[in-house]
Structures are given as structure tokens and as C-alpha cells.
Amino acid sequence: MVKLVQDEVKVLLVYTFILSVISIASFYLVPLTLTSTGSIYADYYAIIYSNLTLIEKYVYYVNEAGKTMLYRYWDAPLYVVNDSSLTGDPYILLLGISCPDNAIGYVKDARGDVHVFTPLNENTISLGISGYINSVAFNNEAGCYFPSGVPLGEHVVEFTFKLVPPINIDSNSEYAHLNLMLADEHVPYRFVKIELNGFKPYKLFVRIPELEIKSYADNVLITGSVPGNTLLEVELVFPKSNIGSASYIPLTVDDMLSRVDKANANYYYSYSALRILYYAVAAVLLVYPIYLVTKYFRVGREKEYIVPEYVSYVPNPSRKPWEVNLLFYKDVLDMDENALYSTIMDFAKRGIIEIRRADSDDVVLYVKEQRIDTLDIYETRVYRFLKSYASNGVFSFKSFSQLLELESKANLRSARRYFEEIKSIMGVFPEAKKYARRFIEPRKPVSLLTIFIVFVVFTGSLTLLSLGREYGLYPLGIVAFNGVLVLEVLVSYTMPSYVYGRWREDYYREKLEWQGFRNLLKDLAKLNQYAPQDLIIWKDWLIYATALGVADKVVEAMSKIGLKAPVEAYVPIYARPIMVHTMRVITASSTSSRTGARGGGFGARGGFGGGGGGVR
């Protein structure tokens, strides 16, 4: 005897496998997506001298056609070196620009004036070039314009700037404070190398913290990679004497060192907390499928029974077909239209109705008089339904569908009433769940309260998106992981109630027997072993096969052994498409009218500069 593989184990394995794939894929794909360079990215090299000269080198990698500009813009005011009307506020001067041979250098300064640097005859071409640059470039932008488009591949652009930043000076200290934001909106920087030359910093902070810092005698090297639109900022405290005669805007600040420490401590605490939360949510995501398996063995695992894989008898002939459909097919708290069709077939067996074929696509039911008190609660619903829509005691599925289609289109209230009435006999009726609890204590892997809490946490995590680019991928990563977790919890809630539920008394054995019986009905080779003369057996099996959703297999097996299918077999064959069409028409009619509606500071992002490298 082969031990039957339990339905709940099969279902659990399928669900946990799918959720495990989603969890593992999310764990790798979320950070990969957030840090992906895409088709356009750059390597960024910068040297910042203590005289506040900045040399930047961008190695752009362009693998997307249709681009015309490689640029670098600033949030701070940008001017050209020969500008004679500079203000007393912090600003940046462009000292030089180096473009590829087939490109033209330009600047659109803080006032919106365009300056074109080209060896060609400016009188003949610069006016048109200036007009185009003016129409697309940002203020405070320097870059290289390619009249024929940026060729695919690698391109090197170099800038030399003179920084005139705000520098904090504390009269009670020998140190100065500079916070320089090199980028916050930019293409992905695949590789970053920043050299601080001559500063000899007393304190140094970089955003983002994952960047590597190496200190040497006269300079500091900062290396790493920075995802697109992520803050790249250098904040340093250095001896005042190092700055020499460089131009800057002095700002007097009291207690400078403690303010620097406090601002950066708050940032690093927040950053560390987000990083921990990011990996914590990722861990929950990875552990969730394991939790489902563990919970099954703790609360859902049933007592083991040895039941044949194929059961060649009706396990419990006293069980009504609709009960079998409710308890032993799909979810234990679910019924479908097969409950109606199998009950009609059972009525014919018991002489309550007579079934006849009317034509090639309809069956009619001759409904006889019957005492209601001899029927159970669901059978009463079905009998009254057939009786109320019968004409002179004859119910036709086709005529019923035509009647409902006509009246539903004419009267919205009738459409809704028909919809509820049919749903009560083709789905779970109000008393069904209470009845099912006599046999099983149904249980989901997660409660509705858990779903609510997970959804609230996800909604709350959306506020992290307002934290800004100084926290790298972590805010968006947390939101993404929480979103996937919400999805997984919702998916697991769709798991049938019997997986984690516990069957009462000895009903679990009966469930396994019905499962084995359904296996037999699905297997044509097994069914063909039964002789044509066993017509009574075939009729009984057909009723329960309908309740278990495999009537078509029994009819097919009967035809293979030369046995004509009984008229009862045509109930699900003809009634199903008619009822599906009817429900579709009613649903469309009942919803058709529902239109319209009712009723130069301290810490992260405190730096001077901003902007970054881009491609358009």
C-alpha cells in the first residue's frame, strides 16, 4: 500500500517554494537594482587643493543613443573666470574645461548667460549653439555639447574650478570648517576617487560612510562607488593656516568643534539605524517562508494515516455532494458551482427532479413536488431556486439565462438581486462556514491583524523616502523589502484553511480517502478497469466526481469503454457555460451605472556645492 501524500503538504511546499524564490530574488535584486549603473554612468576623479582649487575628471560611459551633452552642474552660483561683476556671496569660478575633440565646451552661468568655448568661428556658429544650450541647460552648468550627438562609448571631460565657499571660523579654535557637497543629483558613479591635497584634516567625515578613507602625509584619498542621485559630500575640520591666501567667505561660529561632532553623530546614528533596519527587514523576508514551515509542524500537522493513493469506493456514501464540495475539494471553507450541479444530479437519483436533454446545448429539469422538511439547508436553497424559476414545473438553463439577461439590462435592482441569489447557490452560502467548523478548526498562516500590522509598517516606511539622498539606498531598500513582505503575507493568506487547520475527531482520515477517491477519478487508466455493466457505480461516481471537479474525466472514461454517459452528465457540461455567461451579464449590468465619484552648514546635506555629473 502506497502512503498518500497529504494535500496540505503539497500546498505548503508549493507556497513556500514560491515565497522562497521571491524572498531570495528580492534580497539580491533590490540592492542590485538600486545600485545598477544602467546604460549611462561615469567614473569620477577629483582633487581638492588647500588653496580651494578643484580639478574634476569625469569618464562618461554612454551606451544609449540620442544624447547631445555631457555636463556638470552646481547648486551654487557658477561664473566664468573673466566675470567682472561677482557678488560677495559664495560662488564657483570655472577656470578651464577640456572636452573631446568632436565636442564644444560651454557654460550657462548663474545669471543664465551662455558662454561657448570653441576654436571655430564664433560669428558663424556660436549664436545658434548658444540658443540651443540656453534652451536645455541648467543655470550654473558647464559641459560639452556634441552637435552630431554623443557617440556611444567612453568620453573624458575635465573641469578646473576655483571654489569661493563659506568656511566656518571659530575665534577660540585654531581650526576652520569646510563642508563641500560634490554631488547630490548625478548619474551613477561606478568608481570614485577624491584626493584632499594639503588640508591635513583634524576631523574628516564623508557621505556616504561606505566610502573608504586612507590618510597619507599631505593628502587623503577617498575611494568607492556612489549610486545615482546619492549624496557625495566631504566635511572636514583643518588648521586655519592650511588655507593660506585662498578666497573664501568667512562665517564666525562659536563652539565649532562640538557642533561638527553633534551634527555628524546624529547623522551616523541615523544612517546606522537605517542600515540595521534594512538588513533586519531583509532577514525577515528571507526567514518568512521558513516561519511558515515551522508553524505548520507546530500547529497544523495532522495525525498520520495510511491511506491508499487510489481509493476505489465512495468513502462515505451518506455524505451529501455539496458537503463533499465544501469540505474535501479546494479550501475547506469554499464552495463552487460544482456543489449546485452535483446536488441537481443527486436530486435526480433520489427522484426529486427528472433530467432531460432539450437540444444540443441545454438540459431541462422537471421539478416535482417535494416536502422541504426532508431536505437539508443547502438542498432547500437549490430546490426553491429551481422551483421559483420553473415554468409549469420545468426549469431550463437556457430560458433562465435569457430571462435574467433581459431583466438585468432593464432593471439595475433586479440585476443585483439575481447576482446575490445565484451567488448563494453557486458559492459559499451564509451557514456553510459555521457548518464546516463542525468538522475542522480552520486556520490561516497569518491573521488579518498581522496583515493589518504589516501593511501599517509598510505605509509608515514610506516616510523614510523623505530623508533624502544622504542615506544611500537604505530608505528605498527598506520600502521595497517591506512592500515585498506585504505581498508575501497576502499571498500566504490565500493558502487553504486546512493547511494550518486541525480536523476534529477522525475526519482527517475521511479527507484523505476523498483525496484518494479523486485521484482514482482523475486517472483514466484506473477507471478503465471497471466494466460497462457497472452502470450504477458509474452514476454514483459521476455525482461525486462532479462535486470534486473531475466529472469530465469520468465521462471520458465511460466513452472509452463504450458506455454512454447518463443524462445527468449533461448538467455540468451544458449548465456551466450558460451560468458563467449569465453571471458575466449580471455583473456587467449591476456595475454599469456606477460611474463618477463622491464626494555651508554642519552635517549631511549642509555642504556648499551640490549638483553633479549628468548626460542629456
- pLDDT for position 315: 93
Mean pLDDT by 10 residues, the chain (616 residues): 63 93 94 88 95 95 94 92 70 93 91 79 59 90 93 95 91 87 92 92 88 88 92 90 83 87 89 93 95 90 84 91 92 88 93 85 88 91 91 89 78 72 83 89 89 91 82 90 95 90 89 90 72 68 92 82 81 84 73 45 68 85
Does residue 335 share a domain with residue 361? yes
Does residue 295 share a domain with residue 236? no
Cell of 575: 449548465
Cell of 65: 543613443
**Would you say residue 554 lies in a domain?**
yes
Does residue 82 share a domain with residue 218? yes
**Would you say residue 606 lies in a domain?**
no
- Report whether 105 contacts 99 (CB < 8 A): yes
Does residue 296 share a domain with residue 175? no
Does residue 369 share a domain with residue 355? yes
- pLDDT for position 87: 66
- pLDDT for position 280: 95
Q: Which residues of 501-536 are buried (b: 16+ CB within 10 A; e: fewer)?
A: bbbeeebbbbbbbbbbbbbbbbbeeebeebeeeeee
- pLDDT for position 596: 39
**Would you say residue 611 lies in a domain?**
no
Q: How far apart, in whole angstroms, are the C-alpha atoms of residue 227 and residue 524?
A: 59
Helix runs in 230-301, H state only: 256-295
Backbone CA torsion sign across 164, 170, 175, 181: negative
Q: How far apart, in whole angstroms, are the C-alpha atoms of residue 544 and residue 548?
A: 6
The closest alpha carbon to 607, from 183, 306, 20, belongs to 183
Residue 447 CB: number of other CB atoms within 10 A? 11
Picking from 477, 494, 511, the residue at the C-terminal end of a domain is 494
Does residue 244 share a domain with residue 176? yes
Residue 82 CB: number of other CB atoms within 10 A? 7
- pLDDT for position 597: 37
- pLDDT for position 598: 36
Does residue 405 share a domain with residue 333? yes
Amino acid at site 430? P
**Would you say residue 200 lies in a domain?**
yes
Phi, psi of 198 (to 5 degrees): 90, 0
Does residue 425 share a domain with residue 321? yes
**Would you say residue 615 lies in a domain?**
no
**Would you say residue 607 lies in a domain?**
no
**Would you say residue 603 lies in a domain?**
no
**Would you say residue 605 lies in a domain?**
no
Give the contacts of 508 (CB within 8 A, at least 6 positions apart). 302, 303, 305
Does residue 464 share a domain with residue 383? no
Q: Which domain holds residue 397?
A: 307-441+502-591
Domain count, the chain: 3
Q: Helices H, strands E: what count in the chain?
A: 17, 24
Does residue 145 share a domain with residue 61? yes
Does residue 523 share a domain with residue 543? yes
Does residue 180 share a domain with residue 90? yes
pTM comes to 0.73
The CATH code of the domain that includes 223 is 2.60.40
